Amino acid sequence: MISIIIPTYNEEKYLSKTLERLKSFTLPHELIITDDKSLDGTVAIAKQYTDKVLVPVAKHATIGANRNEGVRASKGDFLVFMDSSCYVENPDAFFTHALADFSADPKLVGLTGKLSVYPELETWGDQLMYLIFNLTHHIKNNILHTGESSGKFQMIKREAFEKVNGIREDLVTGEDADLFYRLSKVGRTLYDGKLVIFHSGRRAHAVGWIKLLSIWMINRFWMTAFGTSKTKNWERWWEKVPRSAKDRS
């Protein structure tokens, strides 16, 4: 069985688009939404699609802690992490292909795919940057075997996830790439360009690619040099919080 785990926080704008696509998914699976005390209608939307909606007593320290909580509530042999603003066009075809990748290589422990911004929102800058990111993921997973992936889509064998002790909950950012790096030490990780994942591209659109890249590069350097992320508080600085949401906090 496949356990699809989607972390959420104030995602009412995007979540329906993601979950509507999964309604047609017929392979054995469970859908788990791990909310982080959203202030908007996210939880209500999630409950329209699944009865497995986890809401914590207090906010999680990091998104890694949020995802790990979803894993603890899951039962699948395969764990799928997707962001709440991501979707795949044909879930049955997508995951049938993904499972075939695992069947073809017994050593495969982690799988990721091609990232692309929603067609109606995609800019030339998005096309260029994700060409670079996807190429990087191909090289690091398929050629160098050092593991690299975005949390927008990761499919992982449960036994391998447990072997590397899950996602590091101390990392505010970069926890997704770190997970695939550690997975590459216990098995093979793969980038499959035939698996296409669409997402909103909202951070880059809000602040610009230059600022976003600078933050990512600083954190990557810090991770390499010191084993942790430079950023200590990953607030959603790229979005304006509605006054009504602030009033409820």
**Which is more confident, 245 or 105?**
105
- Which region among 46-50, 105-109, 214-218 has the lowest average model confidence (pLDDT)? 214-218
User: From CA 12, how far away is CA 46, in angstroms rounded?
Assistant: 9
For residue 175, what is the domain's CATH number? 3.90.550.10
The three-state secondary structure class of 199 is strand
For helices 124-138 and 209-226, the axis angle rounded to 10 degrees is 20
Tokens (6 digits) for 244: 């009504």
Summarize pLDDT for 9-52 with one digit per residue, the tens: 999 999 999 999 999 999 999 999 999 999 999 999 999 999 99
- Say if strands 188-199 and 29-35 run parallel, antiparallel, or are unpaired: unpaired
Helix ranges, the chain (H)? 15-22, 42-46, 63-72, 91-104, 124-138, 158-163, 175-183, 202-207, 209-226, 243-248
The three-state secondary structure class of 140 is helix
- The domain of 202 spans 2-248
Per the CB < 8 A criterion, the answer to whether 148 and 137 are in contact is: yes
Model confidence at 241, in pLDDT bands (50, 70, 90)?
very low
Per the CB < 8 A criterion, the answer to whether 7 and 66 are in contact is: yes
The three-state secondary structure class of 173 is coil
Summarize pLDDT for 146-156 with one digit per residue, the tens: 999 999 999 99
Per the CB < 8 A criterion, the answer to whether 112 and 153 are in contact is: yes
- Which region among 116-120, 128-132, 184-188, 226-230 has the lowest average model confidence (pLDDT)? 226-230
Tokens (6 digits) for 79: 């764990």
Model confidence at 248, in pLDDT bands (50, 70, 90)?
very low
User: From CA 158, how far away is CA 174, in angstroms rounded?
Assistant: 20
Residue 236 has pLDDT above 70, yes or no: no
Please give the pLDDT value at position 116.
97
Residue written as tokens 């975005």? 150
In the chain, how many domains are there?
1
Q: Count CB neighbours of 184 within 10 A.
A: 21
User: From CA 124, how far away is CA 87, in angstroms rounded?
Assistant: 21
